[in-house]
Amino acid sequence: MTPAIAAVDTLIDTAVGQRPDLEATGRALQASSTLVTGARADLKSRLDLQVGSWFTALGEGSGPKALDRWVGPSAGVGLEYEKPLGNNLARGVLAQREAEVLQRQIDQRDLDRRIRLGVVEAAGTLEEAAARVAQAEAAVGFF
């Protein structure tokens, strides 16, 4: 590997590491992946446990009458089971979230590609400019 190519590779690595927009696309990809996990969880059956306790005031009218007559503590326990049959909405949300992840991956790869290409183009332009300077110096020397 020539020193110029090694220098360009170093510049590419530095450019990729210092781009906050590339870091932001990576975080957006992580967030989208988290949303996919949540959408998959919404497809599952659900069993909820409900527990509650309370006091009840029997008095009516003004506040002091209501506060004098308390009944309690009362408690309640309940179970609720939900098994979605078709669940087309949750399936649609999951498909949408998976598509968002794929789009974020494409965006991230495209941005990474454009950053690398920009560095290579800039390095090529710099080499061309250096060659033109050398030609100009040679022309001055011949003049």
Which stretches of the chain drop beneath a pLDDT of 70? 1-5, 59-68
Residue by residue, what is the 3-state secondary structure of the chain? CCHHHHHHHHHHHHHHHCCHHHHHHHHHHHHHHHHHHHHHHCCCCEEEEEEEEEEEECCCCCHHHHHHCEEEEEEEEEEEEECCCCCHHHHHHHHHHHHHHHHHHHHHHHHHHHHHHHHHHHHHHHHHHHHHHHHHHHHHHHC
Residue percentage of the chain with pLDDT more than 70:
89
Q: Residue 10: what pLDDT?
A: 84
pTM: 0.62
Q: Residue 59: what pLDDT?
A: 65
> Model confidence over 104-141: pLDDT tens digits?
999 999 999 998 888 888 877 777 787 888 888 888 88
Q: Residue 101: what pLDDT?
A: 96
Q: Residue 98: what pLDDT?
A: 96
